[in-house]
Amino acid sequence: MNQKYSNMLALELAIYQVHDQNYDPTDKIADFWKKYDIRTIQNTISLLLKKSADCWPNENLIDRSQKQVFGFDRLAVLIAYFHVHNDYVDISKLDFSDAESTMLSLDELEITKRIHEFFGRITD
């Protein structure tokens, strides 16, 4: 399979796996932190941003800036998750249920759930 399509498939599977019967998000979090340390995450994001700039030298400056901001935000949230786990921070009162991004995410998960169920019925 072409590497480009293989990467896209892996990203899609990451979304659809949440609908598997045995899916446990805590396993994913633990697996991630067993696999990566903060320095590796930082270096990887930096490398991805550099490769993006190398591959698309004429890329719109706004698009490149958005990628950089997303990379920085991703690193910051991963470090925050690490601290929540490591320092036993109680996040039960954290509420972003009415955020627009939450609504969009819930819509996306509902769509992927229906697709997952459809393909589940086909394979049965």
Name the token pair of 46.
């930096």
Sequential pLDDT tens for the chain (124 residues): 666 667 788 888 888 898 998 989 889 899 999 999 999 999 999 888 887 766 666 767 777 788 888 888 999 999 999 999 899 999 888 898 888 999 999 999 999 999 988 888 887 6
Residue 90, pLDDT score? 92
Chain centroid offset of residue 65 CA: 19
Whole-number Å distance between alpha carbons of 1 and 36 = 27
Whole-number Å distance between alpha carbons of 79 and 19 = 26
